[in-house]
Amino acid sequence: MNNDYDPSQTPVNPTPPSQQTALGVPAALPTQHAYPQASIQQPLAVTQPQQQAQTPVTPSSSPAPTPHPAASPETPEGHPAKREGLRSVLSTIGILMTAPLIAIFMIAFVFQSYQVDGPSMETTLQNNDRLIVWKLPRTWARITGHAYQPNRGDIIIFNEPDLSDYGQGINKQLIKRVVGLPGERVVVKDGKVTVYNQEHPGGFQPDKTLPYGEGGSHIPQTDGDVDITLPAGQIFVCGDNRPDSLDSRAFGPVPLDNVVGKLAVRILPLSSAERF
């Protein structure tokens, strides 16, 4: 029958063509593509950047835990610091204790400062001149078991044990010039000093022939009447200002053991600083 229902003849989409165009695939595709793009772009463009930007500036709701003192990295470093401070204190104490000992050692065995008292060495040395006396040769001679013998013409410091007969104190240190050496004959006569030895059996006048005499003009006339042969270990000394000097012409020869040292430098006054 022509009016019977035939499935094979039924249209697949009974929707009218006009509605099919309005509601079909072309109209639905923009809606289907817009939804997944919004769900993906929203967290990337808006949500995630806000979370990342807020994370470093947003303060934490709870304070950061305070490290325990035992776990602090500064605690182990405190012990070396304390030990270093103790070392510094001990070092300072050691320096303060050893410095005076070193000074005493230097003064006793190496060098010492002296001040001239009196006019007996004028014009070579003036009253109140400040001097440095070199003691090391004498110290070394005593270490090696020998007496220290200065050279002729040297200016020396020595101990004179008894000057009470001359109105001076006991055990006084004097400064004089060496004129005669052990074994030599020294004669003071007619205002001159003459020394006799093996090299000069006829005698010579050190005040004229040695550099300190400068041809005799530097040393004035030597008063006295002395004729002595010096025993071993003794020397004859005189002040350069012969008229005003208490020396071997009065108290005799000086034992080498009494010699303290040799004049090395005059340091004051600065205008007259000189090495001897």
Q: Is residue 35 part of a domain?
A: no
Q: Is residue 253 part of a domain?
A: yes
Instruction: Read off the pTM.
Output: 0.66
Question: CA 173 to CA 161: how far, in whole Å?
Answer: 8
- Beta strand spans in the chain (E): 111-115, 130-134, 155-162, 170-180, 185-189, 192-196, 226-229, 234-238, 254-255, 259-268, 274-275
Domain count, the chain: 1
Q: Is residue 81 part of a domain?
A: no
> 3-class SS at 194?
strand
**Catalytic option among 120, 245, 248, 262:** 120
Per-residue pLDDT of 66-93, as tens digits, reads 555 554 444 444 567 778 878 888 888 8
Q: Is residue 26 part of a domain?
A: no
Per-residue pLDDT of 50-59, as tens digits, reads 444 444 444 4
Does the annotation count 176 as an active-site position?
Answer: yes
Local confidence band at 216 (pLDDT 50, 70, 90 cut-offs):
low
Q: Is residue 54 part of a domain?
A: no
Q: Is residue 27 part of a domain?
A: no
Q: Is residue 197 part of a domain?
A: yes
Q: Is residue 9 part of a domain?
A: no
Instruction: Give the structural domain span for 244.
Output: 107-275
Q: Which of 193, 205, 218 is nearest to 124 (CA)?
A: 218
Question: CA 101 to CA 83: how far, in whole Å?
Answer: 27
Contact 111, 136 (CB under 8 A): yes
* Residue keyed to tokens 């003192």: 69
**Catalytic option among 135, 176, 245, 248:** 176
- What CATH number did the domain enclosing 112 receive? 2.10.109.10
Averaged pLDDT for residues 188-212? 93
* Residue keyed to tokens 């205002």: 191
